[in-house]
Chains A and B, each alone.
Chain A
Amino acid sequence: MSQLSERPANPVVGQEIPHESAALHVTGTALYTDDLVGRTHGVLHAYPVRGEHAHATVTRLGVAPALDVPGVVRVLTADDVPGVNDAGVKHDEPLFPTEVMYVGHPVAWVLGETLEQARLGAEAVEVDYAPLPSLIGVTEAIAAGSFQGAQPTVRRGDVDSGFDRAAHVFTGEVEFAGQEHFYLETHASLAQVDEGGQVFVQSSTQHPSETQEIVSHVLGVPAHEVTVQCLRMGGGFGGKEMQPHGYAAIAALGATLTGRPVRLRLNRTQDITMSGKRHGFHAEWRVGFSQDGRLEALDATLTSDGGWSLDLSEPVLARALCHIDNAYWIPDVRVNGRIAKTHKTSQTAFRGFGGPQGMFVIEDILGRCAPLLGIDPLELRSRNFYTEGQHTPYGMLVRHPDRLDATWSQVLAGGDVERRRAEIAEFNATHEHTKRALAMTPVKFGISFNLTAFNQAGALVLVYKDGSVLVNHGGTEMGQGLHTKMLQVAATTLGLPLSKVRLAPTRTDKVPNTSATAASSGADLNGGAVKNACEQIRERLAVVAAGRLGVPAADVRFHDGTVSGLGAGDMGWDELVRIAYFQRVQLSASGYYRTEGLHWDSSTMQGTPFKYFAYGVAATEVEVDGFTGAYRTRRVDIVHDVGDSLSPLIDIGQIEGGFVQGAGWLTLEDLRWDTSDGPRRGRLSTQAASTYKLPSLSEMPEVFNVSLLDKAHEEGAVYGSKAVGEPPLMLAFSVREALREAAAAFGPAGVSVDLASPATPEAVYWAVEQARAAHEHGHVVEGAPGRVPDQPGSEATPMLPNSERIQYGVRSGV
């Protein structure tokens, strides 16, 4: 067992404890960025002036009328930027644009004494536009050849020979929607400048270091003049990985120009119409199966809808291509990816980061082809699982494929699947207007940032003379329980009760150069760093204790606040710390961790980008009303692999919440953009909670059984645990596939049913109608060789090495 993954006896990790801020949450005393405004003196409020067109040139910006509005202090425009006028890391996101690229694009910001005055000031700003042609839908962009960024391909073997081998070849196409993060806390920043000109920005950000970096380049100052702090976020889900930077920069710019604190909080309408979302995708594919339903070849072209700028679209696309296999062995593969450029918000990271979109394609293929193959979808899926020794299309060994089988069988048994499917068949035979179905889908999700450099983290652990411990680390808390886990890791490593350890807010002046808290890697990376820092301190203290107890340092043990020598006496932690101080032993340590064993060549899309895979299986039973397409999720059974859980209550919460969020994406959450040629073109029609519906209590599965895979120790990860943030979201494909099968049950056997995504009641109703009609097998076309998906042209560029998120070199040259 590796030193990193080994647990001491009776560790604090693995204990089922509530979220470290739970008592603050429930009493309303937990503070979020915008709660600080009333606690800060003399705050100015920022309000955006927003473009009214999907695409237009700004021909005139008249700010003078705003300055006549009582309470308006200043209007921020491009002329005010001392540094670089860019809110992103790709140099394609001007903070103050001269070209409006989507409806609602802010072109200026007004600072007012009150929010109301700032709003009235923004209304008074005069902007003239020269409208330009726009592309809204991804298919419009494909037809127009409007792409941005790299066009990578993941390739293995030779698809043509794969299709030659195949007994069945099917061709199809699918377009599916994105998703709004709808974190309950909208984007918020509060910036202040101190007496030395040091800028302090409190921001609801998953990536304080990058927020710091953008603020510093906008202000034209070195990073050490900017500190970013994130107390906690009211949800992030990837939406605060790259999107907060510009808002923080506006607040910081306002604060430096006025000398007063500036607050910028987007209201919901602004947030939903300005911030990026999960990418919707278009995919065309052909797939080959052997006579017995084994995948032989997959040829697909995926086009993501990137919106107006590149943002994180390239790495999202890379992850989509790396997850199109999901849990299935496919011998010959060619998957092309490209990013459409459209006049919409710039789509960004969202829990799963392309993984869900890749998996969507294969699960959709299996769901649509199973009836045509005459194979039970459960059987079709499990028959194609990876087995020992097989590699992914991008060349990574699939370690622990037996966990797919283990989770699958546990769900089959624990979910009583066989008996319930018989009951469902009986129910369907006796109910004309209501049908049920049970579907099972697996998840295999790669853990680590694809870009190897991001797989590092730091921590700063301070032990005070009284024995109390303060932990700083680079990760941010957005509800996922990272801080809780870090407390457990620190307490475990130092052999202390939890009460001795406290966590400090995430700040860039404590731990520098951090990666985003993203890619499910928060606990893996920061846990490694916290553990490392604690171990340094423990080793120093062990020497002190060894002297007092008369044993070798190697024989000193730390447990539950007591320090003991093997075969000798013991002493209290507090006493040891005090002695160490007087012996002039350093009581703080900076910890560091980097994930070992990673290699990724993004230009060839080959390597071992992931430390390990997280596995899980879900079985979902739904009931569909044939009159309306309305449905209920009757029961969900999940077995998920989190390694040896660091914190079971937290992990179960992540699994349940991820599943329901995934189900929301696939069934309910409906991003509708106006694609008409009218004056509302490009507008998001569902731009409020009243029109963009999140899952509510009525979407919670009526029976919801979640368990963690037993004996799942993960070598080489902190205390044997695995990441949990993203993978469970993709268990929700079981809901979509169950809805498809329930719709199919309204028709004769063997019908392939297309199901639009999201599978709203209306979409399910049309699927039911399609099944009832049964004269056509959806839109899957059978027959070799099938239609070859669009192939990249000669102008298509591969991913550049290390291009995936950041081109630091390019920017520093500007």
Chain B
Amino acid sequence: MSSTPRNGTVDGSVSLTVNGVATPLGEAPAYTTLLDWLRGQGLTGAKEGCAEGECGACSVMVVRPDGDDRSRWTAINACLVPAAAYAGQEVVTSEGLGTVDDLHPVQREMAVRGGSQCGYCTPGFVCSMAAEFYRPDRTRAAASPDGAADDGDHEHGPNGFDLHALSGNLCRCTGYRPIRDAAYALGDAAGDDPLAERTSRPAPAAEPLRHTAADRSFVRPADLDEALRLLADNPDAVALAGSTDWGVEVNIRSARADLVVVIDRLPELRELHVRDDVVEIGAALTLSEVERGLDGRVPLLDSLFPQFASRLIRNGATIGGNLGTGSPIGDTPPALLALEADLVLTSPDGDRVVPVSDYFTGYRESVRRPGELIRSVRVPLPLSQITAFHKIAKRRFDDISSVAVGFAIQTDGGVVSKARIGLGGVAATPIRATATEAALEGRPWSAETVAAAAAVMRGEGTPMDDHRASAAYRSAMLGTALRRLHSDNPTTEGRTA
């Protein structure tokens, strides 16, 4: 292998900055999670509650880029990511926010309002809450013309606090009311708050790295070319972006890789362009970054984001990763199918473009060849007027879809000129509801058309019974989704802008 890390990073000499203190990564094997590594350093505030990014007891804050010049505190699940991925990075845990005698504002509000009972989830809540406390546009949201606090939006506080910031944190004791109250009582960061001050400077660069311990290697390549070369030379290597899926494999199914190639910070995979005819989204952008970068320009995706896992996961998970895993219940594919998106796949042989509708070939299988990476996702413009993302799940925050439906309905003079419907959870792969699309196109956007097409849609896919839902319910949900869309959008004006 030909990787020669720059900047002299060699085994054993790299460190993470934890609560302001440079701490050597040491001999941690490549599969060692950031959580286990932190706990091994004696920082036992972050806890393992589930080891799959569902409970947030492991939440810590890291510094992430916010444009070229600034950074932002970002809460992530420390249980899912390799410690080596944070070499050279800055991490803050609950222990680093404040002390018993000098509590951080977030810690103070949580403590005095009864936000902790058993206390086990609390350090994680504190970190998720602190990241939202420092969110640069938090106050602005409160001042939005929507008047969030008045119109029954129970998910934003008067201080702009977005409750979804805590959607990846579970508490079994409190019932959440005091935690919400603590979040909504937060003021602004003090002028001399060092963590607030930190965001005015760029995030640490992601320096190339080769870390080998216990015969397993973790490599952060210098650029895309090196990444592709490594993957080509090592067919069994794991290409890792946000690690929100791989981390579960490591923790729950004890997956171990001889070589992990981390691609989450490769600049070639992190570009976002909005052109006249296409929106191009870099595959290694996290869902949170895509959400911020698009800033509402693709309403269908905007309706998807808050329903996609939790904020903690969206801060790590990349849009490319969600397609790369090829899961039939990933949430982006149904939306991207409706948007008629294309994927740009890249390999040492060059780039090729594959429509999302041709990408999936079987259960967790796709046309992506070994060693090939997703470079970007292209969403063609203009967008259809009526779009929606329906997610059917047991829980509203942070659940996996039983059924997911992406809708994009184009109308012309009250007549459906184009219908694109993507479905998840009803077949071995995400699919297009082509029969339903045909039943809509060329017909008026009316209750009658919808009723007839809904009957067709009920028969789409090959739903199964499992612990999330019965096949009968999945089919029923396909049958009601179009009627629900029509009920929400009775005219062809659409609600999108």
The stretch of A15-23, A210-218, A294-302, A305-313 in contact with B is: A15-23
On whether the beta carbons of A19 and B114 are closer than 8 Å, the reply is yes
Given the known inter-chain contacts A28-B44, A29-B100, A659-B175, please indicate yes or no for A481 contacting B117, CB distance below 8 A.
yes
Q: Are A26 and B400 closer than 8 Å at their CB atoms?
A: no
**Which stretch, B199-207, B408-416, B464-472, touches the partner chain A?**
B464-472
On chain B, the residues within 8 Å of A670 by CB distance are 394, 467
How far, in angstroms, from A27 to B398 measured CA to CA in the complex? 26
SS of A interface (majority): loop
Is the CB–CB distance between B94 and A185 below 8 Å?
A: no
Q: Which B residues lie within 8 Å of A236 (CB)?
A: 118
A557 is an interface residue with CB less than 8 A from chain B: no
Task: Determine the main DSSP class of B at the interface with A.
Answer: loop
Q: Is the CB of A26 within 8 A of B103?
A: yes
Q: Does A349 contact B (CB under 8 A)?
A: no
Total number of B residues with any Cβ neighbor in A under 8 Å: 87
Query: In the complex, A103 Cα to B148 Cα: how many Å?
Result: 49
**Would A267 and B100 count as touching, CB distance under 8 A?**
no
- Contacts of A594-633 to chain B: CB distance below 8 A: 625, 627-628, 630, 632
Chain B residues whose CB sits within 8 angstroms of the CB of A704 once the complex forms? 175, 177
Whether the Cβ atoms of B103 and A38 lie closer than 8 Å is no
What is the chain A residue whose CB lies nearest that of B485? A627
- For B467, the chain A residues whose CB sits under 8 A away are 670, 672, 685-686, 691
Please provide the chain A residues from 621 to 667 with a CB less than 8 Å away from any CB of chain B in the complex.
625, 627-628, 630, 632, 649-650, 652-653, 656-661
Q: Is the CB of A685 within 8 A of B114?
A: no
Q: Tell me if B484 and A433 are in contact (CB < 8 A).
A: yes
Chain B neighbourhood of A19, CB < 8 A: 111, 114, 116-117, 119
Is A760 in contact with chain B by the CB < 8 A criterion?
Answer: yes
How far, in angstroms, from A116 to B114 measured CA to CA in the complex? 38
User: Which of the segments A416-424, A695-703, A805-813 contacts the partner chain?
Assistant: A695-703
Q: How far is the CA of A668 from the CA of B402 in the complex (A)?
A: 14
Alpha-carbon distance between A495 and B289 when the two chains are bound, in angstroms: 57
Which of B39, B108, B114, B170 is close to A694, meaning CB atoms less than 8 Å apart?
B170
Query: Which range holds the interface residue count of chain A?
Result: 35 or more
Complex formed: what's the CA distance from A213 to B164 in Å? 46
Cβ contacts under 8 Å, B39 to chain A: 35, 38
Contact (Cβ within 8 A) A696 B44: no
The verdict on A689 contacting B100 (CB below 8 Å), with A22-B116, A627-B480, A694-B172 known, is no
CB of B394 within 8 A of CB of A668, answer yes
Task: Contact check, A26 vs B126: say whether CB atoms are below 8 A apart.
Answer: yes
Q: Is the CB of B100 within 8 A of A24?
A: yes
**Chain A residues near B170 (CB, 8 Å)?**
184, 689, 694, 696
Q: Flag if B484 contacts A627 (CB, 8 Å).
A: yes
Knowing A22-B111, A26-B126, the reply to whether A235 touches B118 (Cβ < 8 A) is yes
Interface residues of B in 156-180 (CB under 8 A from A): 163, 166-167, 169-180
Query: What separation, in Å, do the CA atoms of A697 and B169 have in the docked complex?
Result: 8
A119 adjacent to B110 (CB under 8 Å): no
Chain A neighbourhood of B48, CB < 8 A: 267-268
Knowing A19-B114, A184-B172, say if A697 contacts B180 (CB, 8 Å).
Answer: yes
Alpha-carbon distance between A760 and B170 when the two chains are bound, in angstroms: 19
Least distance between A724 CB and chain B CB atoms (Å): 12
Chain B: residues with CB nearer than 8 A to chain A? 29, 39-40, 42-52, 54-55, 57, 93-95, 97-100, 103, 106-108, 110-123, 126, 154, 163, 166-167, 169-180, 248, 251-252, 254, 390, 392-400, 402, 466-470, 473, 476-477, 480-481, 483-484, 487
Closest 3 CB pairs of A and B: A28-B45, A479-B118, A234-B120
Identify the A interface with B (CB < 8 A). Answer: 18-19, 21-32, 35, 38-39, 116, 119, 181-185, 232-237, 267-269, 433, 478-481, 625, 627-628, 630, 632, 649-650, 652-653, 656-661, 668, 670, 672, 685-686, 688-691, 693-702, 704, 760-762, 765-766, 769
Question: What are 11 A-B interface contacts by the 8 Å CB criterion?
Answer: A19-B111, A22-B111, A26-B108, A479-B116, A479-B117, A480-B117, A649-B114, A656-B177, A696-B397, A701-B177, A760-B394
